[in-house]
Structure 1
Amino acid sequence: MKSLTLVLSTFFFSLILWIGTYNFLPEKVAMHFDGNNVNQYASKSFMFMMFMLITIILLLLLFIFLNIDNKNPNKLKINKPFSIIGIIFVLSLNIIYLMNVQNESLKTEFLIVLFIGFMLFVVGNYLPQIKYNSKYGVKNWATVQNPQNWNKVQRFSGNTFVIGGLLICIFSFSIPFLIALLLTFFVIGVMLFVIHMYSNRLAN
């Protein structure tokens, strides 16, 4: 019931965003961007319907995910960060498009990097709360070999995700998009390597 309320609330909020700005949109709005330039237009009614359809599909996928294995207490803990991430992604998708339509020169690429950093930050805050199980959390040789290492790995991974997420968020605001995106992949690679090395040390 909570997941249904969450999904419906997000959909109606997205709908209200479009209805509230619809009359202020030009009759022809951007449909496809080539870098910072618009190379294809469509009627605003078509884009309204398309974004509502995309919103419904994304929220339906989120609803299905939230209700899979929802009796598992560890899955319920995972549901919290994914609910936050899913809702913010759907709302941001609509908001960013509406902002770009009203100002085609507006640069919003940095929000992609910001969202990745935010996602890692949110997941990192919840990882230490996940109890030992076979489905969810950071699983590797150290946790499989010795369940007592589980909490240590989840706590270390959570801290690593939080620090990495904050760094990526800083990149999104402070440096050009392409460099920030490359650094994002580099930071994620370093994070995974550090977690792997820490796990190996525990296993040995």
Structure 2
Amino acid sequence: MKNKKLLIALGAVCLVNFIAHLCFYPAMPDTVPMHWGFDGQVDGWGPKYMILVTALIPAVILLLIAVVPKIDPRSENFQKFGGIYRGFLAGIVLFMCGISWLSELTVYNVLPDGSSLVGVLVSGGIGILFILLGNYMPRIKQNYTFGCRTPWALADEHNWNRTQRMGGIT
């Protein structure tokens, strides 16, 4: 039941995110910033419709991460670390919803071109996700989808546990 409520809530967030992008879409220029260099300078441009494509990415990620446990050969183990998986799902979907707004924020000069704020936001967000994931990796049970999936770890549960512990530290 927890999974269903979370999926509905995250689906609603993705829908609101997409509708909000649609509201800003008519006022956007024909060419919009799509990629930023490490120094914060826009170094990639794309057509206007790419804003809607990036707005769909969180929903696609939500769909993929929700379906994967159902097709994993060791799907019963997902029940043992369901809280971690749900937390990862919520974190990555919300982070990608935030990232989808970088183009609009740059066009409206909320994120000025050349400031390193884009790099700080993206790198900081990914760093926080990695720190949280590394902290919880030792609790991930053996599966073919989520965690450090090396051949020796998938072959033996003891190796899996040690690999996840080392992967979390790394």
TM-score by length of 2: 0.62
**Partner residue, 1:50:** 53
Q: Could you tell me how far apart the structure 2 residues matched to 1:153 and 1:139 are?
A: 9
Q: Residue 96 of structure 2 is aligned with which of 85, 90, 95?
A: 90
Cα distance, 1:123 vs. partner?
Answer: 1.0
What's 2:124 paired with? 114
Consecutive unaligned residues in structure 1, runs of 5 or more: 161-190, 192-204
* 1:10 aligns to 2:19 (yes or no): no
In the comparison of the two structures, how many residue pairs are matched? 155
Which structure 2 residue ranges, 5 or more long, are not aligned? none
Q: Give the 3 Å change call, closer, same or farther, for CA 101–38 of structure 1 in structure 2.
A: farther
CA contact (8 A) 1:128 1:154 kept: yes
Structure 2 residue aligned with 1:27? 29
Check the 8 A contact 2:35/2:43 in 1, yes or no. yes
* Identity over aligned pairs, percent: 24
* 1:4–1:88 Cα change, 3 Å: closer
- Among candidates 110, 134, 137, match of residue 127 of structure 1: 137
The one of 61, 72, 85 aligned to 1:79: 85
Q: Distance in 1 between the 2:105 and 2:45 partners? A: 17
Distance across 2 between alignment mates of 1:55 and 1:134: 24
- Report the Cα distance in structure 2 between the residues aligned to 1:138 and 1:55, rounded to whole angstroms: 23
Note closer, same or farther for the CA distance 1:79–1:66 as it changes in structure 2 (3 Å cut): farther
Q: Distance in 2 between matches of 1:78 and 1:8?
A: 19
**Structure of higher RCO (CA pairs closer than 8 Å, 6+ residues apart):** 2
CA 66–119 in structure 1, closer or farther in 2 if over 3 Å, else same: farther
2:137 and 2:165 in contact (8 A); partners too:
yes
Q: CA-to-partner distance for each residue in 1:150-175, whole Å, 9 max, x for gaps?
A: 767755654x2xxxxxxxxxxxxxxx
CA contact (8 A) 1:14 1:91 kept: yes
Using the TM superposition, give the Cα deviation of residue 31 of structure 1 relative to its aligned residue in structure 2, in angstroms: 4.3
Q: Which has the higher helix share?
A: 1
- Whether the 8 Å contact between 1:15 and 1:52 is mirrored in structure 2 is yes
Q: Deviations over 1:102-123 (max 9, x none)?
A: 2251430233322331122121
* TM-score between the two structures when normalised by the length of structure 1: 0.54
The SS at the match of 1:27 is coil
Output the CA distance in 2 between the equivalents of 1:142 and 1:61.
24
CA distance in 1, matches of 2:108, 2:137: 39
Larger Rg: 1
